[in-house]
């Protein structure tokens, strides 16, 4: 039997062929090493993310998340829900908080859910994958599996917004959370002193207001270079994509020469645990992480 | 102006604060603002054009009854949902949600600025993800590029082609999604039914004609 079992909420971006598919690949390898069993919530749906606020309104958004709660509680009773995506985690936690706070909202939600043949009684706990690692397993357990320390690699830990605010990781400050730096140390690399670790990448506005978002992304990348980092690491799929894929456009706009790899924490862990570049999803980088690929190939 | 705008103007007369409290999500927090300005100083978009009124100013304008100026403003649409204002507010106002709530209400009234790009994204995203129950990233991007017609869409796509090629090479852009392939929920029908019911209930609770 696996050490830990969870109801897994992978989210849209991590699906095969989607923008964070490399995240999922690395999480699956990481969980195998750590003996974590993740069972996908059957037929889970999109959380609607923050950006749908204007069209969705209030109740429809919570009902959408509540469908996942009902499916998890019915099919995987007693298991906490684990999301890998910051937006999925935030959306689900927000809905849980609102539904537990208001009996009117809960009643309306159940009335709507009935149309889909569902009902919620108890809402499971909702965790980000990082919380599973830090709180349920702990840094020393995570370190005990390291076979190939990422010695000599300098990494800027970009925490971003939605895994940090408004809920954040328990015990961490909003202004200077340390968990990502600690994870970087756990795999044997060196976290750099990084000014922009909680700066917003523009989120969904990278689509609707690209110039404004790219101005923010430029600061985030510049600061990573200034800190002496070889690469950036993040726990959020949108942070990852925004900071990685627009570097070419930012170079054109500002005359910079950015070309810095942007990884997920889980990819670092898989390489440190002795996994191959493929296990770590390193073939999914738009800007290749050569140092990690070399280490994984050794 | 829309019927709903007229309906609400008649109902609330000159009491715009009451209107926001009852109609906008988290609007009942607006009166708690003490005008310290921490939210404004914390906003990552505060140096960008279009950000005419920072949150604390919007809150005071609501209290001052400046209905047209608030509802027609671009400012709420600048929110990136970073939650910096939210965690720093000394009076614990859920500012991110209040800004979303005011923006959403302006949209329902037909008052949101014409062609507002983030409103367009919000509509597109919600319609995209609720259609099959899961987001189709390729169709989402296509809809966004081609919102102003084919010529402008092709231009935008050309500007973005390096980004797209990079993602395809990395296996992170599934061309089949353009044709309606990719992942979706089996229970999409149930999802549509429950969301229709949710919309109906929300309108009832807020005393709005459906």
C-alpha B3 chain-centroid distance: 21
Chain A's closest residue to B45, CA to CA, is: A212
Residues B109-137: pLDDT tens digits? Answer: 999 999 999 999 999 999 999 999 999 99
Question: What pLDDT score does A1 carry?
Answer: 60
Check if A182 contacts B (Cβ < 8 Å): no
Taking the C-alpha atoms of residue A208 and residue A216, their distance in angstroms, rounded to an integer, is 14
Contacts of B13 (CB under 8 A, 6+ apart): none
Sheet hosting strand A231-234, strand order edge to edge:
A190-191, A154-157, A231-234, A262-264
Burial class (CB in 10 A: 0-12, 13-18, 19+), B90: exposed
* Exposure on the CB side of residue B157, measured as CA atoms within 13 A: 17
Cross-strand bridge partners of residue A5: A37
Check if A105 contacts B (Cβ < 8 Å): no
Higher pLDDT, A106 or B2: A106
- CB contact (8 A) between residue B80 and residue A213: yes
* Partners of residue B194 in chain A, C-beta under 8 Å: 63, 67, 112-116, 118
Cβ(B100)–Cβ(B108) under 8 Å? no
- CB contact (8 A) between residue A286 and residue B170: yes
Taking the alpha carbons of B11, B15, B16, B17 in that order, is the dihedral positive or negative?
negative
Contacts of B171 (CB under 8 A, 6+ apart): A17, A21, A22, A283, A284
* Partners of residue B25 in chain A, C-beta under 8 Å: 57-58
* Partners of residue A108 in chain B, C-beta under 8 Å: 198, 201-202, 205
Torsion of CA A124, A126, A131, A135, to 10 degrees: -20
Q: With 60 as the cut, is the pLDDT of residue B1 above it?
A: no
pLDDT tier for residue B151 given thresholds of 50, 70 and 90: confident
Higher pLDDT, B36 or B182: B36
pLDDT tier for residue B48 given thresholds of 50, 70 and 90: confident
Question: What pLDDT score does B50 carry?
Answer: 67
Give the closest-approach CA distance of A144 to chain B in angstroms: 31
Chain B's closest residue to A119, CA to CA, is: B194
Chain A's closest residue to B174, CA to CA, is: A17
* Partners of residue A212 in chain B, C-beta under 8 Å: 45, 48, 78
Domains along chain A with CATH numbers: 4-129 (1.20.1050.140), 148-297 (3.40.50.11810)
* Partners of residue B88 in chain A, C-beta under 8 Å: 174
The CB-based long-range contact list for A106-112 (8 Å cut-off, 24+ gap) reads: A108/A59, A108/B198, A108/B201, A108/B202, A108/B205, A109/A59, A109/A62, A109/A63, A109/A66, A109/B198, A111/B197, A111/B201, A112/A59, A112/A60, A112/A63, A112/B194, A112/B195, A112/B197, A112/B198, A112/B201
Range of weakest confidence among A85-94, B180-189, B193-202? B180-189
Residues B91-100: pLDDT tens digits? Answer: 999 999 999 9
Give the closest-approach CA distance of A127 to chain B in angstroms: 19
- CB contact (8 A) between residue A248 and residue B185: no
Size of the A and B interface in Cβ pairs below 8 Å: 224
- CB contact (8 A) between residue B182 and residue A58: no
Give the closest-approach CA distance of B110 to chain A in angstroms: 12
pLDDT tier for residue B150 given thresholds of 50, 70 and 90: confident
Higher pLDDT, B178 or A260: A260
Chain B's closest residue to A212, CA to CA, is: B48
Sheet hosting strand A4-9, strand order edge to edge:
A36-40, A4-9, A81-83, A126-128
Low-confidence ranges of chain A (pLDDT < 70): 1
Give the closest-approach CA distance of A19 to chain B in angstroms: 4
Burial class (CB in 10 A: 0-12, 13-18, 19+), B24: buried
* Partners of residue B198 in chain A, C-beta under 8 Å: 59-60, 63, 108-109, 112
Task: Give the pair of three-digit tokens for residue A231.
Answer: 């690469």
* Partners of residue B123 in chain A, C-beta under 8 Å: 54-55
* Partners of residue B74 in chain A, C-beta under 8 Å: none
Domains along chain B with CATH numbers: 3-114 (1.10.1060), 117-200 (no CATH)
């Amino acid at each position: 039997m696996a050490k830990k079992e969870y109801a897994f909420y992978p989210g849209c971006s991590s699906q095969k062929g989607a923008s964070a598919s490399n995240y999922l690949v690395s999480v699956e390898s990481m969980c195998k090493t750590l003996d974590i069993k993740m069972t996908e919530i059957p037929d889970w749906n999109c959380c609607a993310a923050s950006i749908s606020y204007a069209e969705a309104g209030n109740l429809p958004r919570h009902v959408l998340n509540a469908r996942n709660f009902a499916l998890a509680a019915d099919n995987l009773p007693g298991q906490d829900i684990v999301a890998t995506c910051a937006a999925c985690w935030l959306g689900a936690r927000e809905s849980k908080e609102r539904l537990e706070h208001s009996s009117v909202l809960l009643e309306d939600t159940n009335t709507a859910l009935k149309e889909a043949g569902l009902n919620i009684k108890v809402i499971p706990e909702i965790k980000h994958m990082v919380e599973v690692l830090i709180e349920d397993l702990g840094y020393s357990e995570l370190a005990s599996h390291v076979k190939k320390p990422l010695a000599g690699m300098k990494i800027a830990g970009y925490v971003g917004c939605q895994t940090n605010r408004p809920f954040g990781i328990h015990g961490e400050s909003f202004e200077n959370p340390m968990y990502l730096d600690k994870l970087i140390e756990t795999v044997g690399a060196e976290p750099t002193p990084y000014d922009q670790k909680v700066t917003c990448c523009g989120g969904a506005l990278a689509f609707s207001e690209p110039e404004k978002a790219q101005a923010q992304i430029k600061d985030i990348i510049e600061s990573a270079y200034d800190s002496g980092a070889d690469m950036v690491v993040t726990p959020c799929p949108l942070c990852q994509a925004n900071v990685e894929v627009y570097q070419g456009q930012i170079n054109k706009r500002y005359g910079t020469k950015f070309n810095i790899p942007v990884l997920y924490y889980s990819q670092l862990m898989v390489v440190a645990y002795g996994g191959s570049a493929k296990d770590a999803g390193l073939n999914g980088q738009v800007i290749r992480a050569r140092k990690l690929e070399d280490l994984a190939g050794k | 102006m829309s019927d709903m705008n007229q309906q609400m103007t008649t109902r609330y007369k000159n009491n715009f604060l009451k209107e926001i409290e009852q109609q906008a999500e988290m609007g009942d927090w607006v009166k708690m603002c003490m005008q310290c300005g921490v939210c404004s100083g914390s906003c990552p978009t505060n140096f960008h054009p279009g950000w005419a009124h920072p949150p604390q100013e919007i809150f005071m304008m609501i209290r001052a009854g400046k209905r047209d100026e608030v509802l027609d403003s671009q400012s709420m649409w600048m929110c990136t949902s970073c939650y910096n204002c939210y965690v720093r507010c000394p009076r614990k106002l859920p500012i991110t949600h209040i800004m979303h709530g005011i923006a959403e209400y302006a949209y329902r009234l037909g008052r949101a600025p014409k062609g507002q790009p983030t409103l367009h994204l919000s509509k597109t995203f919600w319609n995209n993800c609720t259609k099959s129950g899961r987001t189709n990233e390729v169709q989402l991007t296509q809809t966004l590029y081609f919102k102003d017609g084919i010529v402008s869409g092709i231009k935008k796509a050309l500007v973005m082609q390096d980004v797209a090629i990079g993602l395809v090479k990395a296996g992170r852009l599934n061309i089949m999604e353009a044709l309606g392939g990719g992942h979706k929920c089996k229970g999409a029908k149930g999802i549509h039914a429950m969301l229709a019911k949710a919309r109906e209930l929300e309108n009832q609770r807020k005393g709005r004609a459906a």
